[in-house]
Amino acid sequence: MHKYSLLLILTLFLNGCVFNRNFSQKQLEYLDNFRPNAELTTEPEDHLQHIKVSYFGTSTLLLDDGATQILIDGFFSRPGLLRLITLGFDPNSAASRKRLLDAVETYSLSNLSAVVTAHSHHDHAMDAPLIASITGADLIGDVSTCRLAYGLNDTQKRCYELFNQRTETGLLPPYGNFTISLIKAAHTELPPSIRKLVGLNQSVSEDVDYPARLWDYAEGESYSILIEHPVGSIIVQASTSLAADELQQIDADWLFMSVARLTSLEDKRQIFESLVKGTNAKNIVPIHWDDFTRQVDNKLYPQKYFMGKSFAEIKLFMQLNHELDSGANAYVMDHGDYIFLRY
């Protein structure tokens, strides 16, 4: 780790990271206008096939059709940046295991079949290996994600098997009525100094060990995640980047789209258009807008000053949806919010 990068992060921390932010009352009222309505949040009758999609911040989503559960990322630990750059973080420690055992119980994750990571940065893949190990679910990602399962032998072995199967055949096994496809995607564009710090376009080291620090969680490969089910199709785009050509051949019932740094990107309009209009998305939800270095208690918080502009990013998302006349219904989900897809 280069000293200048550490100095940069410490400077950023001292100048802004320590100051948590909250939405103003006016901002909360604006966001409440886009909360899912009763039609979406009312549980269907037992005889109707459905998928319940719950949101837990960043790009963590739980898909549950009553028989099978699929978890995207599963990032619940949410350690602070200062800890990540000094002491590091051990997801296999007793404290971490207890935290994730509590999450499994609180959010009823005991029926998980697969944990899928969008890429291997800490805010996506930090907790995924241990959650997979605790629940017996498959861990799905690239080689970097598999390497993060260090010490979890059965989970890591299965992760490599699935990666090799996907490399050879392009397919993953079905999970109940769910079919999962990973489509290569670009990561959100970052400033040069931050790119190096978080290992953009780099792989997690073969010698990764815990406790791991921020820079140990390199990007690996980034993916758009497509989940297909008889009830409908869902795309999770955890990076704010242009849709791949393959993704634009899909009609999405629901698109969960990252808005991280959206206001700072020159091609923001093209990104939105390629994802929302390119996939003919019927319903869209902004994700990855919250402060993922802050513990949550039933609600999400806006990012700290130097990390992003949460409210502006969500508002731009809504404005672009209107200006481009996408035809998609747009919603904002808070921690623990859920919607039902149904026939």
State percent of the chain over pLDDT 90.
Answer: 81
With respect to residue 18, please indicate whether it lies within any of the assigned structural domains: no
For residues 236-241, average pLDDT: 98
| Residue 126 Cα distances to 47, 49, 219, angstroms | 37, 33, 12
Assess whether pLDDT exceeds 80 at residue 3.
no
| Residue 121 Cα distances to 72, 236, 316, angstroms | 14, 16, 25
Q: What is the pLDDT of residue 343?
A: 76
With respect to residue 150, please indicate whether it lies within any of the assigned structural domains: yes
Assess whether pLDDT exceeds 50 at residue 110.
yes
* CA dist., res. 292 & res. 90, Å (int): 17
With respect to residue 1, please indicate whether it lies within any of the assigned structural domains: no
- The dihedrals phi and psi of 318, each to the nearest 5 degrees, come to -70, -40
Angle between helices 94-106 and 128-135 (to 10 degrees): 70
With respect to residue 15, please indicate whether it lies within any of the assigned structural domains: no
For residues 152-156, average pLDDT: 96
* CA dist., res. 137 & res. 121, Å (int): 20
Say which DSSP state 301 is in.
-
Least confident of 183-197, 265-279, 309-323: 183-197
Residue written as token pair 């623990």: 336
Strands 112-116 and 69-72 come out as parallel
pLDDT band at residue 19, thresholds of 50, 70 and 90?
A: confident
Assess whether pLDDT exceeds 60 at residue 9.
no
Query: What integer best gives the mean pLDDT of the chain?
Result: 93
Positive or negative: CA dihedral 156, 158, 160, 162: negative
Tens digits of per-residue pLDDT, 40-94? 999 998 778 999 999 999 999 999 999 999 999 999 999 988 888 888 988 778 9
With respect to residue 119, please indicate whether it lies within any of the assigned structural domains: yes
pLDDT band at residue 2, thresholds of 50, 70 and 90?
A: low
Number of domains within the chain:
1
Show Cβ contacts of residue 173 under 8 Å, excluding neighbours closer than 6 positions: 162, 165
Q: What is the pLDDT of residue 14?
A: 47
With respect to residue 10, please indicate whether it lies within any of the assigned structural domains: no
Tens digits of per-residue pLDDT, 80-92? 888 888 889 887 7
* CA dist., res. 248 & res. 275, Å (int): 7
Q: What is the pLDDT of residue 266?
A: 96
Q: What is the pLDDT of residue 4?
A: 44
Q: What is the pLDDT of residue 269?
A: 98
State percent of the chain over pLDDT 70.
Answer: 94
Contact yes or no for 291/57 (Cβ under 8 A): no
pLDDT band at residue 15, thresholds of 50, 70 and 90?
A: very low
With respect to residue 13, please indicate whether it lies within any of the assigned structural domains: no
Instruction: State the SS3 of 235-276.
Output: EEECCCCCCCCCHHHCCCCEEEEECCCHHHCCCHHHHHHHHH
With respect to residue 114, please indicate whether it lies within any of the assigned structural domains: yes
* CA dist., res. 296 & res. 212, Å (int): 22
CATH label of the domain that carries residue 66: 3.60.15.10
| Residue 119 Cα distances to 185, 226, 229, 238, angstroms | 10, 14, 23, 9
Q: What is the pLDDT of residue 93?
A: 87
Query: Domain span at residue 239?
Result: 24-342
Q: What is the pLDDT of residue 6?
A: 55
